[in-house]
């Protein structure tokens, strides 16, 4: 059996598409859908009205995605736990391909993230470019260090062996968890045939706020993992002159990937590149603040 676990907060604009796609999977064996929600909008009512068969767990206070996923893990009955987000639309064969891939020796398997915005919104494209350049279609099946929790699955035993997500690292709690699995020798398989469509923020304010939030938490992540670039967070004073160049480096790396993988996206919407650049500046502002605040906190151990 497979358990699908979805964290949710104020998802009324996307939750129905997400659940419709999961309720109409080509997978023939049994599976359950667990939505762990802390919304104050109409999400619970939409779920109750249109998908009463889904297990809905509702918190009265806003809950970070890692903590929500942990609740779903505790309630799950499946041997395989598949994760996606409330702003994602998995492909119809998502579970079928996940289950097939789990016939291998791999205990953690993830796949491609496609841009789910169909309105040609340049802000949404910039968000896609900023977060998912490493998980585009067209890549080969391979072992990777990380796949985001909008399109990943684990054998349940992994959580019993290595513990649960750490909510304090939001919105990079999944990266921290996967890095710690890698340190323990757990390998992650990336299968490009496993696809979800991610619906991105379409407001400039929301996009910039999210980039800044990612920037703030990144130094704390770097201090507690062995990711490349951790030297900047560990020794910020000698590397301070490098920080202003970080958005330029990230921008160029992202543009190169998209020119190679999805050149039409850039050619058709050049405004997205400008928005991406602004977003990376906001990320750097958050990163600079995060370096200061993270060094005031004690480091944690795996």
Return the sign of the alpha-carbon dihedral for residues 172, 254, 190, 196.
positive
d(CA 113, CA 119): 17
Q: Which pLDDT band, with edges at 50, 70 and 90, does 23 fall under?
A: very high
Considering the chain, what percentage of its residues have pLDDT values greater than 90?
Answer: 83
Q: What burial class does residue 82 get, using C-beta atoms within 10 Å of its C-beta: 0-12 exposed, 13-18 middle, 19+ buried? A: buried
User: pLDDT digit string (tens) for 50-104?
Assistant: 999 999 999 999 999 999 999 999 999 999 999 999 999 999 999 999 999 999 9
The reported pTM is 0.93
User: pLDDT digit string (tens) for 154-172?
Assistant: 999 999 999 999 988 999 9
Phi-psi bin for 187: left (phi > 0), alpha (psi -120 to 50), beta?
beta
Is the separation of the CB atoms in 106 and 187 below 8 Å? yes
Q: Which residue shows structure tokens 């921008």?
A: 251
d(CA 157, CA 107): 9
Q: Which pLDDT band, with edges at 50, 70 and 90, does 295 fall under?
A: low
Give the per-residue pLDDT at 293.
78
User: pLDDT digit string (tens) for 223-246?
Assistant: 888 777 777 777 777 667 788 898
Bridge pairing between strands 108-115 and 188-198: parallel
Q: Which pLDDT band, with edges at 50, 70 and 90, does 10 fall under?
A: very high
pLDDT at 298 exceeding the cut of 80: no
Q: What's the Rg (C-alpha) of the chain?
A: 19
List b or e across 14-53, with b for residues whose CB sees 16 or more CB atoms inside 10 angstroms: bbbbbbebbeebebeeebbbbbbbbbeeebbebbeeebee
Give the per-residue pLDDT at 294.
64
Q: Which pLDDT band, with edges at 50, 70 and 90, does 301 fall under?
A: very low
Is the separation of the CB atoms in 51 and 19 below 8 Å? yes
Residue boundaries of the structural domains of the chain: 205-294
């Amino acid at each position: 059996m497979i358990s699908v676990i979805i964290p949710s907060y104020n998802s009324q604009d996307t939750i129905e598409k997400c659940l419709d796609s999961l309720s109409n999977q080509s997978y023939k064996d049994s599976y359950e859908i667990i939505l762990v929600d802390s919304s104050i909008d109409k999400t619970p009512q939409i779920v109750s009205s249109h998908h009463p068969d889904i297990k809905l767990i509702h918190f009265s206070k806003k809950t970070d995605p890692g903590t929500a996923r942990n609740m779903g893990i505790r309630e799950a009955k499946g041997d395989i736990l598949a994760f996606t987000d409330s702003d994602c639309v998995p492909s119809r064969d998502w579970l079928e391909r996940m289950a097939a891939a789990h016939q291998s020796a791999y205990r953690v398997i993830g796949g491609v993230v496609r841009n789910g915005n169909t309105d040609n919104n340049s802000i949404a494209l910039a968000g896609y470019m900023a977060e998912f350049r490493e998980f585009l279609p067209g890549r080969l099946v391979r072992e990777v260090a990380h796949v985001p929790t909008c399109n990943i699955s684990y054998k349940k035993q992994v959580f019993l062996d290595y513990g649960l997500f750490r909510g304090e690292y939001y919105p990079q709690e999944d990266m921290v968890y996967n890095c710690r699995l890698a340190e323990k020798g757990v390998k992650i398989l990336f299968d490009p045939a496993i696809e979800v469509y991610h619906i991105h923020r379409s407001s400039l304010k929301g996009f910039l706020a999210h980039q800044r939030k990612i920037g703030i938490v990144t130094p704390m992540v770097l201090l507690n993992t062995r990711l490349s670039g951790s030297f900047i967070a560990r020794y910020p004073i000698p590397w301070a002159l490098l920080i202003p160049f970080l958005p330029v480096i990230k921008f160029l790396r992202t543009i190169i990937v998209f020119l190679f993988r999805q050149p039409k996206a850039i050619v058709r919407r050049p405004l997205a590149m400008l928005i991406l650049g602004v977003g990376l500046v906001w990320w750097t502002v958050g990163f600079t603040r995060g370096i200061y605040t993270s060094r005031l906190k004690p480091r944690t151990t795996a």
